[in-house]
Amino acid sequence: MPKTRQQKVAILSDIGSRFDQAKSIVIAQFTATPISALEHLRRKMKESGVDMTVVKKTLMKRLFAGKNITDVNIDDATGTLMVAFGRTDALAPAKTIQSFAKENENVKILGGILEQQILDASQIVSLALLPSKEELIAMTVGTIKAPLSGFVNVLAGNVRSVINVLNAIKEAKS
């Protein structure tokens, strides 16, 4: 059943408010994707703190026109559009959709917006391949810890050498 004009206006205002609050937005298309797979995607997005909605192309065009966004081209999209809004983690929508697109060939990233900059599909995929904040923190801590660990191993080497000499003397006397 087609939506009334009032329903479309309500949908546009809801998506517009999500659009304004989001740190990043990823737009993807999907065709012939099983409902179970989409439900799995929705669960993964919810765990990541990402809002996802399915939108018709005409409504997205109206939203872009209302926001004066002219660089995003969704005219060539076939199938249904999904829009993911990242409120807390800017990389979460890109990472989640990219991992889902690897499993499902019918999903294709079209582009997105990161901090008011419009990105194409290749840039979104590049963002998805970046390590997460936790991984970067772990790498930094490991780099800071490496010299200290090396110093401890050098000091422990002297103790090991003394123990080996004492064991050799013990073995020689036995």
Mean pLDDT to the nearest integer, 30-45: 87
**How many residues make up the chain in this entry?**
174
**pLDDT tens figures, 119-141:** 888 899 998 898 888 888 999 99
5: pLDDT confidence band, cut at 50, 70 and 90? confident
Neighbours of 99 (CB within 10 A): 12
Greatest mean pLDDT range, 61-65, 149-153, 168-172: 168-172
Q: What is the distance between the alpha carbons of residues 120 and 117, in angstroms, rounded to a whole number? A: 10
**pLDDT tens figures, 87-118:** 888 888 999 999 998 888 888 888 888 888 88
What are the start-end ranges of the H helices in 22-132?
Answer: 35-48, 57-66, 92-103, 121-129
Q: What is the distance between the alpha carbons of residues 60 and 7, in angstroms, rounded to a whole number? A: 14
1: pLDDT confidence band, cut at 50, 70 and 90? low
* For the chain, domain boundaries: 5-130, 131-174
What class does CATH assign to 5-130?
alpha beta
Q: What is the distance between the alpha carbons of residues 64 and 116, in angstroms, rounded to a whole number? A: 13
